[in-house]
Structure 1
């Protein structure tokens, strides 16, 4: 099996939870380098990885084919550009960049260098999203008329993460953080909207970056899609609500991969490594082919973030499709910037 050597730009939560475990368990990857500026926490689980004290040092000395840029979003542009100029392929955490202009510049540079650039949109592999995708593909709801996708939390106090909560830092706040997931999912499901209207602000106060957003997306055929997130949601809502001219589907957010990874569960290659769902997590209510109403309690099948790295490997070795390529995620950045403009100006923004 061809071995792909990878360098990890940071060993914080993202590195410990979303990248290193999968690179360790996938037989096609070898995490040969990791950046830790002052600590050596990676040594315990990844003793084979050489520790570097800076991204620059890793790029200058490490034997790597792919660089995972999993640092704060405010550094993505600098580090991705540096790695591309060093001749390395790129996996970059979401959100891709702070601005659309930065994203476009990096995609152009990657194309010039003939290197791949993929954005780590891991929630394409969440069980709940995959279930929604399946229901839409089965066309049991008929022509969709209204869709709502939410990602709510109850976090009324500061997390202490300045790059996510400082309103003075561009790219901080829920729109870039959670919004990057919801916007990616909706564009995967329905493509690019024609226009949008957004309301974005901080419920915790002006000393914090935005922690609430509501974005109304206008599609052809009168489809309306609402994306919403709040940090003052003690009781869970349905994460996905779909209404069509033949029925409705309600889906809870039940993917537990992040929690299980944090608890130390090993994501075994080629297996469903998450705990099985014990209860139903969705409601499908529709008119069937016999004009009869069916109401079914549904259960989503396991998601698996390993599939992202499997797709990366298959692209490198077999030339299969690259998951979430940079040029595709540029559309998401356009929506983020248009949402910011809409909220600031209080008006609908056309996207086409």
Structure 2
């Protein structure tokens, strides 16, 4: 088995909760370096890892094959470019970049140097989304698709960069990128979009609410996030000519990873049956609803596919071009909100 040596840039929520344990769960992926000041924490969790504070120690190391950029959004472009120029394969935490022109440059740079460039959109492997995809063929022609990523955080946490007034902050870039990626993976690019964004909480500096409508021929896709939502809306729902599927409740994987429960344990990713989705269909004019237990989510599948792409020339699980389309939607959404118009793509 070929080994791929991996370095993570940053050890915040994303690096510590998602990337490090998921990388460590894949045979053939060796986490060797982390760029971070959290030396003691990393040494305790991953004693085999070398912790560095200077990115040049990673870029100049010929033994490092793959770099995972989990640094704040404004650093995605500049740092990813440095990694590609150093000859490294790169995974970028979502969102890919903040500017379309930067994403186009990175896509071209990776292609010119025959390097893998992927964007970490792990929510394609959420249990509800996986279950929805299996339900879609039974629903007929889909006319309405909805997905919401709501939270109940009535107080602004100014210590977090995502709550600051900087490009790439706010819920559209943060949570919206997940929802847009899921929708595009199902339906492709829309014809038009309309968006409404707001800073609703007192003293909020970044958008804490958005509602995005993606317009296709007969299909309407409605995506949203609200930061003061004690009773969250459906995480995903699809309504078609033969029935509907509606799912509430977040995939349990993030909570498990936060509690140090890794994909190696049997109960990893298993959801409480009370959070099962509902399939509703009509038979002879009578509507019947059936509980649909969720498929098991599997974030580690992203990294398994990364390993396979690097060693067996299989497809990149989330290409940079796909990640760039999400940025195109986000930028169009901002234009729609600022100009109060429907944007044709």
What range is the shorter-chain TM-score in?
over 0.9
Name the structure 2 match of 1:295: 289
**Contact persistence 1:280–1:297 (CA under 8 A):** no
Question: Which of residues 188, 191, 199 in structure 2 aligns to 1:191?
Answer: 188
Matched, 1:278 2:278: no
Q: Secondary structure at the match of 1:279?
A: helix
Change in CA separation of 1:161 and 1:28 when aligned onto 2, cut-off 3 Å: farther
By how many angstroms is 1:292 displaced? 6.2
By how many angstroms is 1:146 displaced? 1.4
- In 2, Cα distance between equivalents of 1:182 and 1:207: 22
**Contact persistence 1:272–1:302 (CA under 8 A):** no
Question: Which of residues 135, 142, 145 in structure 2 aligns to 1:144?
Answer: 142
Name the structure 2 match of 1:326: 320
- In 2, Cα distance between equivalents of 1:280 and 1:211: 26
Question: Which of residues 174, 177, 195 in structure 2 aligns to 1:177?
Answer: 174
Question: Which of residues 226, 243, 249 in structure 1 aligns to 2:245?
Answer: 249
**Contact persistence 1:140–1:286 (CA under 8 A):** no
Name the structure 2 match of 1:258: 254
Matched, 1:210 2:207: yes
* Number of residue pairs aligned between Structure 1 and Structure 2: 345
Name the structure 1 match of 2:151: 153
Q: CA RMSD in A?
A: 1.7
- 5+ residue gaps, structure 1, are none
- In 1, Cα distance between equivalents of 2:239 and 2:321: 31
TM-score of the superposed pair, with normalisation by structure 2:
0.95
Name the structure 2 match of 1:67: 67
By how many angstroms is 1:242 displaced? 1.8
Q: Which moved more, 1:248-257 or 1:175-184?
A: 248-257
Return structure 1 stretches of 4+ with deviation > 6 angstroms: none
Q: Which moved more, 1:33-42 or 1:101-110?
A: 33-42
- In 2, Cα distance between equivalents of 1:311 and 1:195: 32
Q: Deviations over 1:238-268 (max 9, x none)?
A: 2222221222221113311010100110221
